[in-house]
Amino acid sequence: MSDSDDNGLSRRQVLALGGGLVVLGSAPVSTLAAPHDKGADESPVRRTVTSTVAFVVNGRRRELELDNRTSLLDAMREHLHLTGSKKGCDQGQCGACTMIVDGQRINSCLTLAIMHQDAEITTIEGLGTTESLHPLQAAFVKHDGYQCGYCTPGQICSAVSVLDEIKRGIPSHVSGDITAPPQLTSNELRERMSGNICRCGAYSNIIEAITEVAGERA
Ligand code: FES
Ligand code: FES
């Protein structure tokens, strides 16, 4: 029997090569992985990058050192302990996190805090006090515009913005004549408030509350 295979390698050579692979296979994992693991702790994915952010929240200047990935909602809730704004979906679909930034309502879960350097931010805590409710807060109480109340801070911040839009004559998708002042119809208000979901279904009472305040301001 020949001592060589078709490739011309001798049985002795094949055994020697196999032995070498066994030795390689038994090498410590740390030795084998060293080139890959080197500098793993320096990975940009693992490193936390922070920035100093300053804004005016409910009339008070606040400065925070934040992970750049912090949402505005988390900055308010977790760092300033303003827990009135709620985290419902955390993906821009429910409106529970609505707050007013530089005069406009936004879904604060969808925006980074560092994008709002020097902004003026109003959360539900900045609208009224228990002794002196904002007119919309009082109207929500009067018209039973809530049940569990989870969506209510976002609804009220949104309604503040809606009243401002109407006052400034900004039309909506359901405005019949975009050159005329917006009408205070239920249809208009429902369209403008459509980004705020209420799982308790208090919609008709919410519209009554907003209609009352809007009527008083007309
Ligand atoms: Fe922001 Fe739902 S929590 S839209
Ligand atoms: Fe419960 Fe709106 S009052 S979700």
pLDDT in tens, 86-137: 999 999 999 999 999 999 999 999 999 999 999 999 999 999 999 999 999 9
The count of domains in the chain is: 2
Whether 201 lines ligand 2, by a CB cut-off of 6 Å, is no
Pocket test for ligand 1, best of 76, 83, 107 (most atoms within 8 A of CB): 107
Q: Which ligand is closest to the CA of 152, given by its number?
A: 2
Question: Residue 24: what pLDDT?
Answer: 41
Residues 143 and 215 occupy one common structural domain: yes
Residues 145 and 174 occupy one common structural domain: yes
Give the SS3 label for residue 157: helix
Residues 203 and 152 occupy one common structural domain: yes
Q: Specify the ligand 2 atom closest to the Cα of 198.
A: 2
pLDDT digits 0-9 by tens, 51-65: 999 999 999 999 999
Residue 10 — very low, low, confident or very high, per pLDDT cuts 50/70/90? low
Residue with token string 């005016």: 56
Per the rule left: phi > 0, alpha: psi between -120 and 50, beta: everything else, 102 is left
Whether 19 lines ligand 2, by a CB cut-off of 6 Å, is no
| Whether 78 contacts 64, CB under 8 Å | no
Whether 213 lines ligand 2, by a CB cut-off of 6 Å, is no
| Whether 67 contacts 86, CB under 8 Å | no
Question: Residue 22: what pLDDT?
Answer: 40
Exposed e or buried b per residue across 123-144, where buried means at least 16 C-beta atoms within 10 angstroms of its C-beta: bbbbbeeeeeebbbbebbeebe
Burial of 182 (C-beta count, 10 Å sphere; 0-12/13-18/19+): buried
* CATH number of the domain enclosing 101: 3.10.20.30
Residues 114 and 137 occupy one common structural domain: no
Q: Specify the ligand 2 atom closest to the Cα of 151.
A: 2
- CB-based contacts of 63, cutoff 8 Å, min separation 6: 52, 53, 54
Residues 106 and 164 occupy one common structural domain: no
Return the C-alpha torsion angle 164, 168, 169, 170, nearest 10. Answer: -70
Residues 150 and 121 occupy one common structural domain: no
Residue that finishes a domain, picked among 80, 95, 126: 126
pLDDT digits 0-9 by tens, 25-35: 444 444 344 44
Percentage of the chain surpassing pLDDT 90?
A: 73
Residues 85 and 100 occupy one common structural domain: yes
Q: Which domain holds residue 118?
A: 48-126
Give the SS3 label for residue 190: helix
Residue that finishes a domain, picked among 78, 107, 126: 126
pLDDT digits 0-9 by tens, 170-214: 999 999 898 999 988 999 999 999 999 999 999 999 999 999 999
Question: Residue 184: what pLDDT?
Answer: 87
